[in-house]
Amino acid sequence: MYIVQIASECAPVIKAGGLGDVVYGLSRELEGRGNTVELILPMYDCMRYDHIWGLHDAYLNLWVPWYGGAIHCSVYCGWVHGRVCFFIQPHSEDNFFNRGCYYGCDDDNMRFAFFSKAALEFLLQSNKKPDIIHCHDWQTGLIPVMLYEIYKYHGMEYQRVCYTIHNFKHQGMGGVETLEATNLNRPDYYFQYDKLRDNFNPFAINFMKAGINYSNAVTTVSPNHAIEAQTSEVGCGLGHTLHLQKEKFTGVLNGIDYDFWNPEIDPYISHNYNWHDFEQKAYNKKALQERLMLAHADKPIVAYIGRLDNQKGVHLVHHAMYYALSKGAQFVLLGSATEPAINAHFQHEKQFLNNNPDLHLELGFNEELSHLIYAGADMIVVPSNYEPCGLTQMIGLKYGTVPIVRAVGGLVNTVFDRDYDQNLPPEKRNGYVFYDMDNQALESAMARAIDLWYQQPEQFQQLAIQGMQYDYSWNVPGAEYLEIYDWIRHKW
């Protein structure tokens, strides 16, 4: 099968969050299964050019229709760790991708509307005929619209679109000017409720809603998040749209890259290990205590790795620090705040607790250190308010670090409570789960984990080993996406 992925990110060359990891990991898995996979990306001035090999001219005279004229673009091709990537570079006074950033500009909607138009124009002009066009998030939501309203009449009638939503919070909005710029025009037609009109703003079109309505299949990044998006505020106003399109909407759990997150081969940890020689993990705990100047005490280490913001349940992260200390555990935090007030609060806590031998707060992000924390900690807490998929808990499981998670999103699909999960036998359970967003719920799960570590260490070790035996690589999701691709090729 010939698959083209179109996205605003691909790790490690363009990475602002988990989207980049997913685009790269899924592409590699699909290619490893014998498919031809190519990626189309914006050519940002600030991307990591040192991760591109063999960058060369691919299509130098791409003219992209825009408003009443056209914008001249160059398309370059290179290999990003083995993946074939095409980078679109517009030559325009708008400087769409020469901003020194990926996102955050006032005209982001127009920047990515142009990118979507340019990607389709490149496929058309270069005579590429993929079986599947796989688009990601709001930035590419207009692609299926333009494909089925314009480009199918110019020789692209057989392409089918899978559209994956990674974060419902950011949906992309536009107005009549977006329709004019992309040559869709006809506002009376596209501003109908069953087309592009935002569900709550009658004067705006919604890029994500456009992608949902026009694509052949819609996915999000975990089965449980797909249910939440239709039935709760997690869908951010798109629940009704998803319900109307439920026959083509499903959740496919993200995978993680076991070439990068794997204690057997990880170059960033003190001692490599797997579940067969689990005792080697203890050397990483000692190395972590030494590096962070924690007391060399026979205590469990509870860790938190991730952003410090409301989505991640920051108030519970704060409470987890003090509760871990009160239960005779050590606590390690690695993360950066997205808001000044949250950052100031944790900076104050860092100074206040600076001399505590059982706690370390690392405010910022350090990739190398994160590996050692995963390997050295005994437990990792993930108390998210909402979590579409979550990678932290899956990485923790691979490293034998028992997750303590809130029952939302993909956390429900990956962590199964040792004491209370009735759907799995005890030998298949791998962590601790709590439901409410209050301190008592978090304490209940943390207490069960810490008490097991102290009182029944052999059983705690067995729980950690059971987690390591789970396969959350791209193997299963890769197969699921190929089934979706086959379905839309034959259904439509």
User: What residue numbers does the annotated binding site for ADP-alpha-D-glucose cover?
Assistant: 15
Question: Residue 181: left (phi > 0), alpha (psi -120 to 50), or beta?
Answer: alpha
DSSP label at residue 98: -
Q: Name the percent of the chain in helix, strand, coil, to the closest 5.
A: 40, 20, 35
Between CA 116 and CA 11, with CA 161 as vertex, the angle to 5 degrees is: 60
Q: Where are the beta strands (DSSP E) in 92-223?
A: 132-136, 160-165, 173-174, 205-206, 217-220
Strand order in the sheet with 69-80: 53-66, 69-80, 83-91, 36-42, 2-6, 132-136, 160-165, 217-220, 249-251
- Return d(Cα 282, Cα 277) in angstroms, integer: 10
Q: Tokens for 89? A: 């570079």
Q: Identity (one letter) of the amino acid at 135?
A: C
- What amino acid occupies position 476? V
Class of residue 186 by CB neighbours under 10 A (exposed 0-12, middle 13-18, buried 19+): exposed
B/e letters for 265-287, b = 16+ CB within 10 Å, e = fewer, are ebeebbbbbbbeebebbebbbeb
- The Cα 352–Cα 134 span in angstroms is 49
- Annotated binding site: which residue ranges? 15
Q: What are phi and psi of 402, to 5 degrees?
A: -70, 125
Q: What is the DSSP letter of 118?
A: H
Question: Quick one: CA dihedral 89, 93, 96, 99, positive or negative?
Answer: positive
Nearest to 95 by CA among 111, 109, 106: 111
